[in-house]
Amino acid sequence: MRKPALLLTSFAILAVFAPLALGGLPLGAPAGDTGIQEPALPASGAQANERLAASPRRAEWAVIRAGADSVRAWVVYPARRENAPVVLAIHDNQGMSNWIRAVADQLAADGFIAIAPDLLTMQDVPRRPDGESVREGVSAAIGNVDQATRDRFIQAVGEWGTRLEGASSKYGIVGFCWGGSTVFAHAVAAPASLGAVVVYYGGSPPPDRLAAVRAPILGLYAGDDARVNATVPPADSALKALDRTFVQHTFPGAGHGFTRSQEGREGANLQAITRAWPLTVDWFRTHLAQ
C-alpha cells in the first residue's frame, strides 16, 4: 500500500531536522579551522559534518510533490543566482546522508543551484540524531524503489529546481555508486528537461536500452572496480553507434566510492577525485549553459 504523501512545509522540515545544525552551530555559521585540505573538492565522508557546519551558503529542506508522493530534498543556493544551472546530487547506497548534502554544498560553491533529493523519502528510513540514515533501514528499503519511481522523483525535483528564480531551463544530475547507476538509467528515461548527466562509478544500462538517451553523459570510474567497469565498453559502443555523447575517464589505482573515501588507496582515491571533480564542474557548465 502506498504511504500517504508528506504534507510538511519547508519550515516544518527545518524544525524537525534542527539537529542537522551540526556542532551546535546553525548551518552556514563560522566554525573556525575545519582541517579541510582541498576546499575546491567535495567533502569526503569523514569531512562532511565539518564542511556543512562551516558552509557560508544558504541551504534549506524542501518537500517537493512527485505525483501522489513527496520527495524531501536538501537545496543549496550559490552566491549568485542569475541563470544558475540546476544540478541534482543523487545519493549512494547509504541513502540520504550528511555526505551527499556536503557534495551539494560544493556544487553550490561552484555556482550551481544544488539539490540532493532523498529517493527513499516514502520508505520512512529511520535517522540518527545527526541526520544520517540508519544503514540497516536503508538496506531494507532501497530495493523497494524501482527505477521508474526514481525517474519520476528525479524529474519532479529537477523540474521544480528549474522553476526557481534565476534557475536554468534544464537540470543536470550527478550520482555516485547506486546513484551513478540511477542517473545513467535516468538518461534512458530521457525527459526533455534533462540537460546533462555525470556518472560516478555506476553501472551502465544494457546496450539495447540506450537508444532513448539524448543528454550528454560523462562517466568517471575507478581503476579497481571490475564489476562496474565491465558494463562500460558495451554502453560506449552502443552510444557511439547512436551518435550520442558519452565521455569516460578511469582513474588508475582508485577504488569504488573514491569520492566518499578520499583518504583510501594510499592517495589514489584523492588523486581520482582531484581529477574528476573539475571534469564534473566543466561538464555541467558546458552543457547546462543558457
Quickly count: other Cβ atoms within 10 Å of residue 208's Cβ.
Answer: 8
Is residue 153, in this structure, part of any structural domain at all?
yes
- Whether 263 shows a pLDDT value over 80: the answer reads yes
Separation CA 32–CA 251 (nearest Å)? 33
Is residue 9, in this structure, part of any structural domain at all?
no
Which cell numbers hold the place of 1? 500500500
How many separate domains does the chain show? 1
Is residue 17, in this structure, part of any structural domain at all?
no
Which cell numbers hold the place of 225? 572496480
Is residue 22, in this structure, part of any structural domain at all?
no
Tens of pLDDT, residue by residue over 149-193, are: 999 999 999 999 999 999 999 999 999 999 999 999 999 999 999
Q: In a 10 Å sphere around its CB, with 0-12 CB exposed, 13-18 middle and 19+ buried, how is residue 11 labelled?
A: exposed
Is residue 183, in this structure, part of any structural domain at all?
yes
Q: Residue 132 — very low, low, confident or very high, per pLDDT cuts 50/70/90?
A: confident
Is residue 42, in this structure, part of any structural domain at all?
no
Query: Closest by alpha carbon to 117, among 180, 36, 173?
Result: 173
Domain that includes residue 73, residue range: 47-287
Res 290: pLDDT: 63
The model carries a pTM of: 0.86
Q: Residue 225 — very low, low, confident or very high, per pLDDT cuts 50/70/90?
A: very high
Is residue 152, in this structure, part of any structural domain at all?
yes
Is residue 140, in this structure, part of any structural domain at all?
yes
Tens of pLDDT, residue by residue over 85-118, are: 999 999 999 999 999 999 999 999 999 999 999 9
Separation CA 118–CA 89 (nearest Å)? 10
HSE-up (13 A, CA, CB side) for residue 272: 30
Separation CA 46–CA 212 (nearest Å)? 38
Q: What are phi and psi of 42, to 5 degrees?
A: -65, 155
Q: What is the CATH number of the domain that holds 98?
A: 3.40.50.1820
Separation CA 199–CA 187 (nearest Å)? 10
Separation CA 174–CA 225 (nearest Å)? 19
- Whether 271 shows a pLDDT value over 90: the answer reads yes
Separation CA 45–CA 176 (nearest Å)? 13
